[in-house]
Chains A and B, each alone.
Chain A
Amino acid sequence: AQTVTQSQPEMSVQEAETVTLSCTYDTSESNYYLFWYKQPPSRQMILVIRQEAYKQQNATENRFSVNFQKAAKSFSLKISDSQLGDTAMYFCAFMEETSGSRLTFGEGTQLTVNP
């Protein structure tokens, strides 16, 4: 069974600084997709960024970027110039190409951005 592990239950960062959230996963497949979702206190799940395993280039969305290390099965999220609105629970998620589009989520990392 595929698993996703987020080893940092909580993290904090000062406003305007950079923070990196860690995620590792386990799979025997070669084609798969990785995601980071953000869940602010409103409870809404928001897609932050997406990476396809067969693309070597790391995905970037404005202040959010990933460091995808396929051999190490690692998929970390870097948030640059942190803002107060980035305070949220962040979930790493994984989908195998043969899984029928099912997402497997990690346990989550609670990020707090301090003023």
Chain B
Amino acid sequence: NAGVTQTPKFRVLKTGQSMTLLCAQDMNHEYMYWYRQDPGMGLRLIHYSVGEGTTAKGEVPDGYNVSRLKKQNFLLGLESAAPSQTSVYFCASSRTGFYGYTFGSGTRLTVV
């Protein structure tokens, strides 16, 4: 009963490097989300998906891309990392959002 699994848990990137964060859920949830958490700003939505093959922009999508090729996986990509993308990233999923989300344990990303 893994729930939502995020990999990696920690990563340090150099400015301009690219990387992909992987989110996997085993609950057959339709909805998946990527948030970033910064001090004093709560969690802000980057991108989300309402089903396999769909993606949509959230509040802070610039500099990120996503894909949902399989229902259980939601990938977040950074094409050219910038120091402003230093943050903690959370993935979440839900059956419908009205019952609340199940969150992954987060990825701490530092861009130097």
Contacts and interface: CB of A to CB of B under 8 A. Distances in A.
A44 B105 contact: yes
Chain A contact residues: helix, strand, loop or mixed: loop
A101 B100 contact: no
A105 B43 contact: yes
Contact of B45 (A4, A47, A97, A102): A102
A51 B66 CA distance: 31
Contacts of A35: 100
B56 A100 contact: yes
Contact of A101 (B35, B43, B50, B103): B50
B90 A45 contact: yes
Nearest to A45: B103
Contact of A100 (B42, B48, B88, B90): B48
B101 A103 contact: yes
A28 to B, nearest CB: 18
Given A43-B106, A101-B50, A91 B100 contact: no
22 contacts: A9-B40, A33-B98, A43-B88, A43-B106, A47-B100, A50-B100, A97-B98, A99-B97, A100-B56, A100-B97, A101-B48, A101-B50, A101-B94, A101-B96, A101-B97, A101-B98, A102-B33, A102-B58, A103-B45, A105-B44, A106-B42, A107-B40
Interface of B: 31, 33, 35, 40-45, 48, 50, 56, 58-59, 88, 90, 92, 94, 96-101, 103, 105-106
Given A50-B99, A50-B100, 4 more contacts: A52-B98, A91-B43, A102-B48, A103-B101
